[in-house]
A = this chain, B = another copy of it.
């Protein structure tokens, strides 16, 4: 039972999520892959600073140890 938050994250694959990093940067996109380190691959991703669009990425690999939180974009986590 002690691994359940990560299992919930696994079930979020193919959902739209928002990732906030420790430095405040946010990435939104479709969660394509994730693992137990919270490494994530987002597709059709955007980078946002203070709510403003900074960049678009077809795909981006985000290293898990930089992540502060993850939330569903407009869907179930």
Contacts and interface: CB of A to CB of B under 8 A. Distances in A.
Interface of A: 1-6, 8-10, 21-23, 27, 33-36, 38-41, 57-72, 76-77
Identical chains bound together, number:
7
A33 B5 contact: yes
A59 B12 CA distance: 12
Nearest to A9: B61
A66 B20 CA distance: 12
Contacts of A23: 22
Contacts of A34: 4-5
A66 B5 contact: no
A59 B76 contact: yes
Nearest to A72: B59
